[in-house]
């Protein structure tokens, strides 16, 4: 049976998820230096670009802003999140149900899991409920797979990232979001172990233009289908330039150097 295309995914099988769930996860720290980024309206407007496929936000932002954009952008509701102020046990509690996400208009849902945490059994059970409910409602679920815990010294090694990604496959995720492992070869270890499940690379913290585009280019060459990017877009004064550069790489088959011409 042919695999169903992820919502909003382009015909070449690539996707850009604009992530803006950071207000829950990181609080005010992500909005310093460019205070206008704290305004959700700014990011919702960015999401209407032809080079953005779907917008990922928490329940509250979706409830308050999405109505005005529902005909312009697909919606991914992030169902869990935890403030960075709480650091004792890596655990991200559920704060929205699949049913409520669908009522808001979600085309997909996302869920963070921390394999390696002492709370991983609880998170696996939480994800099971989310995944099965998503199946009942006919929408895909994306796992933010972020291994974390006392036994993990470096959460960007290919062994650790691959393990987290594989857990996503085993638990029934339709797509997994992972951290970059540092090279094309290392990222190939991640995509090799995930079967036909789609893998997107996290944009991570704000990077220089070329550094970010090269990271994305290597990830695509390794078999990733795109990126879930937030701070590398909306933390810029002119995010439209980077959105276009990402689109050039993913959808218009331009090189990093050609994409850099946007700047």
Q: How far is CA 194 from CA 78, 112, 143, 164, 166, in A?
A: 22, 17, 13, 10, 5
Per annotation, catalytic residue among 177, 179, 235, 244: 177
Distance CA 135, CA 172 (A): 10
Half-sphere exposure of 22 (CA within 13 A, CB side): 27
Burial of 214 (0-12, 13-18, 19+ CB in 10 A): middle
Q: Quick check: is 177 catalytic?
A: yes
CA 191 and chain centroid, separation? 16
| Alpha helices, DSSP H, located in 118-230 | 120-137, 158-170, 184-192, 209-221
Distance CA 126, CA 14 (A): 29
| Spatial contact of 52 and 243, defined as CB atoms under 8 Å apart | yes
Distance CA 197, CA 165 (A): 9
Q: How far is CA 134 from CA 13, 46, 69, 146, 209, in A?
A: 22, 27, 23, 21, 36
Pairing status of strand 175-178 against strand 74-78: unpaired
Burial of 257 (0-12, 13-18, 19+ CB in 10 A): exposed
DSSP three-state, residue 34? coil
User: Which positions are annotated as active-site residues?
Assistant: 177
């Amino acid at each position: 049976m042919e695999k169903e295309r992820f919502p909003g995914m382009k015909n070449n099988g690539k996707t850009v998820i604009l992530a803006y769930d950071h207000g829950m996860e990181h609080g005010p720290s992500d909005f310093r230096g460019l205070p206008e980024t704290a305004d959700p309206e700014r990011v919702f407007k960015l999401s209407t670009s032809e080079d953005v496929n779907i917008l990922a936000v928490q329940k509250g932002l979706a409830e308050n802003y999405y109505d005005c954009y529902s005909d312009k952008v697909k919606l991914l509701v992030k169902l869990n999140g935890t403030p960075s102020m709480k650091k004792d046990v890596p655990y991200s509690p559920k704060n929205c149900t699949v049913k409520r996400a669908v009522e808001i208009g979600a085309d997909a849902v996302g869920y963070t899991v921390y394999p390696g945490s002492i709370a991983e059994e609880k998170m696996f059970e939480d994800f099971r409920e989310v995944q099965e409910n998503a199946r009942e409602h006919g929408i895909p679920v994306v796992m933010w797979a972020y291994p974390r815990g006392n036994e993990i010294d470096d959460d960007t090694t290919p062994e650790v990232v691959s393990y987290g990604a594989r857990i996503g496959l085993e638990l029934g995720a339709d797509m997994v979001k992972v951290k970059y492992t540092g090279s094309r070869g290392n990222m190939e270890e991640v995509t090799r172990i995930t079967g036909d499940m789609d893998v997107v690379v996290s944009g991570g913290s704000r990077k220089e233009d070329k550094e970010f585009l090269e990271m994305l280019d290597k990830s695509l060459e390794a078999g990733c289908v795109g990126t879930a990017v937030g701070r590398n877009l909306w933390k810029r004064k002119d995010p439209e330039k980077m959105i276009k550069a990402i689109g050039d790489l993913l959808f218009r088959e331009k090189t990093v150097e050609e994409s850099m011409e946007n700047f």
